[in-house]
């Protein structure tokens, strides 16, 4: 059972993802509402996978991705973005993101991506 850290500044999104993941056999071990907390939680919890929203206050997804990858080169981070953020996704992928999910997403696509990470 894979452990997941959900990072998104919206309660709604965190709840959506958590519900979908837990229904499909993933174990959500933590949540973070911005990139700074995400990095902290990563170090504290060592999740197998991180879902990372791109647009967040304080520290955004891209920066948090970089910091996490700097701490742990094996970190598996999946970006969650809105449509029209191709450039950000590209940058994220080049910075080491393993895959990405586009909002609005369906349970099916989320699980597809996370199962393969």
Partner 1 sequence: MSDDGISKEPMLEMYLFEGEQLVEQLEEIIIKCEKDKKFEMGAINEIFRIMHTIKGSSAMMMFNQIALVAHSMEDLFFFIRANQNVQVDFVGLSDMVLAGIDFIKAEMNKIEQGKVADGLGDELIAEIKTQLTKMKKSYEDESTLPAVVADPVANEATPKYYISSYQPSPDKKTENTKYCVKVFFEEDCKMENIRAYLVVNNLEDIVEEIYYLPVDVIDNEESAIVIRENGFLICFSTAVSYAEVESALNETAFLRKMEIDQVDQYPDEIKALHRRKEIRLDDIPAEVDFRPQLETVETSKDVDAGPGNNRQQNIISVSVAKLDMLMDIVGEIVISEAMVTKNPDLAGLQLEGFSKAARQLRKLTDELQDIVMSIRMVPVSMVFHKMNRIVRDMSKRLDKEVNLEIIGENTEVDKNIIDHLSDPLMHLIRNAMDHGLESKDDRMAAGKPSAGKITLEAKNSGGDVLIIVRDDGKGLNRDKILNKARERGLVHKAENELTDKEVFSYILLAGFSTNEQVTEFSGRGVGMDVVTKNIEKIGGSLAIESVCGKGTEIFVKIPLTLAIIDGIEVGVGKSRYTIPTISIRESFRIDEKDVTSDGDGNEMIMIRGQCYPVLRIHRMFNIKNSVTRIGDGIMVMIESDAKIACLFVDKLVGEQQVVVKALPRYLKKVQGIAGCTILGDGGISLILDAHGILARQLA
List residues binding partner 1 (CB under 8 A): 9-13, 15-16, 19-20, 23, 33-34, 37, 55-60, 62-63, 82-83, 85-91, 93-95, 98-100, 102-107, 109, 112-113, 116-117
Q: How far apart are CA 95 and CA 18, in angstroms?
A: 25
Q: Is 30 helix (H, G, I), strand (E, B) or coil?
A: strand
Contact 45, 3 (CB under 8 A): yes
* Cβ closest to partner 1, residue 3 vs residue 55: 55
Residue among 3 and 111 whose Cβ is closer to partner 1:
111
| Phi, psi for residue 36 in degrees, rounded to 5 | -65, -50
Q: What is the closest distance, in whole angstroms, from the C-beta atom of residue 61 to partner 1 in the complex?
A: 9
């Amino acid at each position: 059972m894979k452990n997941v850290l959900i990072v998104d500044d919206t309660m709604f999104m965190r709840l959506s993802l958590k519900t979908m993941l837990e229904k499909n056999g993933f174990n959500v071990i933590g949540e973070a509402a911005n990139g700074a907390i995400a990095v902290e939680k990563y170090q504290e919890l060592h999740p197998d996978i991180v879902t990372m929203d791109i647009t967040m206050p304080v520290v955004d997804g891209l920066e948090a991705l970089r910091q996490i990858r700097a701490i742990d080169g094996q970190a598996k981070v999946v970006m969650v973005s809105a449509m029209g953020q191709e450039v950000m996704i590209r940058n994220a992928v080049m910075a080491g993101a393993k895959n990405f999910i586009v909002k609005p997403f369906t349970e099916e696509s989320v699980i597809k991506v996370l199962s393969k990470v």
